[in-house]
Copies of this chain bind each other. A is one copy, B any other.
Amino acid sequence: MTDDRRLLRVALEQARAGLAEGGIPIGAALFGPGGELLGAGRNRRVQDDDPATHAETAAFRAAGRRPGGYADTTMVTTLSPCWYCAGLIRQFRIGRVVVGEAATFPGAHRWLSDAGVTVTLLDDGECAALMRRFVREQPDLWNEDIGA
């Protein structure tokens, strides 16, 4: 297993925990330069009735303040980041993003890479299967979460 796949497992574990709670199965984790976990989290729309906490937001919050910046950090997310999460990554200059899959939702990869963020797409089958099933079973909830 590559190192990125190992990091993805942490985010995927969050996504599965979210699904088990009746939530939207998207997870994320922020890692430091040595691959150490800084924070992990999952979408909280259903669990906390909170529309403002996507998986990336939750992981970023869990990591806490980092006055030195985020250039040396990697955000790993099971699903391609929406504009809100891409904006977070760009504004805080997170150096790298590892995306589980972009088949069920095509995020702003090009916009991020144009801004200097390294984007790695893993095209992971488990991430995609999880989302595909969720979107099929709860389309209204999914549309609510992406403002569609």
Which residues of A pack against B, CB within 8 Å? 45, 49-53, 57-58, 60-61, 63-67, 69-70, 82-88, 90-93, 140, 144, 146-147
Establish whether residues B64 and A51, one from each chain, have CB atoms under 8 Å apart when the complex forms: yes
**Could you say which of B65, B70, B91 contacts A146, with CB atoms under 8 Å apart?**
B91
Q: Do A52 and B61 have beta carbons less than 8 Å apart?
A: yes
Residues of chain B lying within 8 A (CB to CB) of residue A147:
69-70, 91-93
* A53 contact set on B, CB distance < 8 A: 52, 61
State the Cβ distance, A46 to closest chain B Cβ, in Å.
9
Candidates B50, B65, B93; contact of A45 at CB < 8 Å = B65
Which chain B residue has the least Cβ–Cβ distance from A146?
A: B91
| CB–CB B93/A87 < 8 A | no
* Cα-based distance from A84 to B112 in the complex (angstroms): 12
Contacts of A57 in B (CB 8 A): 52, 57
Determine if B83 and A87 form an interchain contact, defined as CB atoms under 8 angstroms apart: yes
**Can you list 14 residue pairs at the A/B interface with Cβ under 8 Å?**
A49-B64, A50-B61, A51-B64, A51-B65, A51-B66, A52-B53, A52-B60, A57-B57, A82-B91, A84-B87, A84-B88, A85-B87, A86-B87, A91-B147
Question: Least Cβ distance of A124 to chain B in Å?
Answer: 23
Interface centre among A58, A67, A86, A147 (most CB of B within 10 A): A147
Question: A20 to chain B: closest CB distance in Å?
Answer: 21
Which B residues lie within 8 Å of A63 (CB)? Answer: 51
